Structure 1
Amino acid sequence: MTTVEEAAARSAAGSHTGSGIQWWRIRAGVSEVLRWVLLLALGIAFLYPLLWLLSASFKPRGEVFDNALIPKTFTPTNYVEVWDQLPLLAWLGNSVFIALAAAFLMTISSSMVAFGFAYFRFPGRNLLFGLVLATMMLPGAVTLIPNYLIWKFFGALGTNIPLWGGALFGSAFYIFLMRQFYLGVPRELFEAARIDGCGYWALFRRIAFPLTLPSAIIIFLFEFQASWNNFTGALIYLNFGTPENFTVPLGINYAMTKYSPTAGGQGDYQYVMVAALLVTLPMLILFAFGQKYFIKGISAGGMKG
């Protein structure tokens, strides 16, 4: 092959290679666009109920269920009138107290039990831990009647004590989660602290718990959310007195019944929409402040797994 033919062949090969690279870039760009379109569509699908709720809260009574995201008649006075129509402030106060108490007690009790299973070595430890985990297999409906009878025996029916008192005994799932974190803490730290004169409580308070704080914050967030959304418990233990003693989920249900035309109401569901939107704000704020701990705890748990 002559020099001219070799140059032509190299030129043709380079042309094919360049075309291949250009085609690969086009495919990569199209894939990137499709991925963003899919993510945007899924994001809109998840956000649509919240956007609908926000729109309905600014509508008058006759337009609440027209499915229009932009209100035809903008009615911001709903946010003023709702405080006169419903004891919303009392519901928020009750739910905040119960959720904070349940989350705090659940975090501390589960952490202490988990530390005991992770640090102490005693006969039957694995068997006892297995029994604790076995309680996760029990459906919640199985324990409803026994728990109700226990709280009735203590005279706690009609109070909010049953909604946070059970957190004193921890949760099997949270105990398992915290135990895995405690097992990742080097035992040499505890041994060195014991040599320096630290007691068992000091080991937990000064070493174990601070080192596993992200996981504790995860438990706090999860339990706060579970307690905030606990409708069944409030329906069982609080559905005896006045509406001012209700929690947020039970209060929203009460408002739906109050404004229902079948119950003698006028269909003023715009106040229910405003109340439902306002009671979601504490959860959004809590997640906004605890998000970095949530991500840190999940990533740490994945590394330990």
Structure 2
Amino acid sequence: MTTTTTGTRTGRGPRRSRARSKGRGNGIMLTSGLAIALAAVLVPFYWLVIAGTHSSREVFDSPPPLLPGGHLTENLTSLQNTVSFGRVVLNSAGIAAVYTLCAGAVCTLAGYAFAKYRFRGRDPLFGVIMLGLVIPAQVTLVPLFTLMAELEWLNTYQAVIMPNLALPFGIFLMRQSMAALPDELLDSGRMDGCGEFRLFLKVVLPPMRPALAALGIFLFLYQWNDFIWPLIVLRDGASYTIPVALASLQGVDDTDYGAILAGTAVAAIPMAVVFLALQRHFVSGLLAGAVKE
């Protein structure tokens, strides 16, 4: 009996050692892969910030500059003098904030209606909305521009904000998130005397905070980075957004790349900070939107 027990323990020892060695090897490979992925993401962003502190000539030096230069103030001054960059940043922030609030309300209400109400043509209508995910945005530019001209909205902020309020991805995200909300919770609210609007505010929205945070981040970044549509409808430089203003600095004979890179870095840093601060809500909100009916 003693010999058998000893042999069994002796056999388990090498197996456990091999398992621990394999686990350490997998951990090292995973850590190495994550480190490479992190470097691939951070190195371009680091170079963007560094290049924004150099002149246009220094940006194209070989090897490229890896340490901060002394032209940041000069580049920002050039931006301000050329495109009134402070006003441009305020334009982008204001448009993105208003768009996020309005589009968030539209997408949330639409998602709630598609998830919890039964009406004729609901599924075909939702399918039509989902077609917006596969139709290229460029296809709609001409009819949208014609509509804005008929409404005399060209070179106005509402022309930038209004066309994309019912964003298909936003409606899809909120519909999938709200589909996981138990119908019994809504029925109990109605039995307690809640009207539909109060039920939506007091019962439906509180559990949807992660999904709402994810939707808000997505909508804000979508509008903040939008280039084609603001370029088409905005004619006055005083109403430009950041992407349009930076694109206007690219000349035929001379381009101030130092100023462009400095402006791009200034525009990217706040968005990176917001995303990093709210990434937990963003990830959990997207996971909530992945619930399968």
- Normalised by the length of structure 1, the TM-score is 0.84
Bigger radius of gyration? 1
Offset of residue 75 of structure 1: 3.7
Q: Deviations over 1:56-96 (max 9, x none)?
A: 12223321122434248544433653434541111111111
Distance 1:247 1:270, change over 3 A: same
Do structure 1's residue 103 and structure 2's residue 100 form an aligned pair?
yes
**Structure 2 residue aligned with 1:255:** 249
Instruction: Tell me if the contact between 1:181 and 1:301 (Cα under 8 Å) persists in the aligned partners.
Output: yes
Instruction: Tell me if the contact between 1:218 and 1:294 (Cα under 8 Å) persists in the aligned partners.
Output: yes
Q: How does 1:75-224 map to 2 (within 5 A)?
A: 75-78=71-74, 81-82=77-78, 83-168=80-165, 170-224=166-220
**Structure 1 residue aligned with 2:280:** 292
Percent identity between matched residues is 26
Instruction: Tell me if the contact between 1:51 and 1:69 (Cα under 8 Å) persists in the aligned partners.
Output: no
Do structure 1's residue 61 and structure 2's residue 56 form an aligned pair?
yes
Instruction: Tell me if the contact between 2:76 and 2:262 (Cα under 8 Å) persists in the aligned partners.
Output: no
Q: Distance in 2 between matches of 1:73 and 1:224?
A: 32
| Matched residue count | 291
Instruction: Tell me if the contact between 1:103 and 1:223 (Cα under 8 Å) persists in the aligned partners.
Output: yes
Match of 1:235 among 231, 236, 260: 231
SS at match of 1:158: coil
Offset of residue 14 of structure 1: 6.5
Offset of residue 146 of structure 1: 1.0
Q: Distance in 2 between matches of 1:76 and 1:119?
A: 53
Gaps of 5+ in 1: none
Offset of residue 182 of structure 1: 2.0
Distance 1:272 1:35, change over 3 A: same
Gaps of 5+ in 2: none
Offset of residue 24 of structure 1: 4.3
CA-based RMSD = 2.7
Q: Distance in 1 between matches of 2:68 and 2:219?
A: 40
Q: Distance in 2 between matches of 1:289 and 1:11?
A: 55
Q: Distance in 1 between matches of 2:92 and 2:76?
A: 21
Q: Distance in 2 between matches of 1:51 and 1:191?
A: 53
Higher-RCO chain (CA-CA 8 Å, sequence separation at least 6): 2
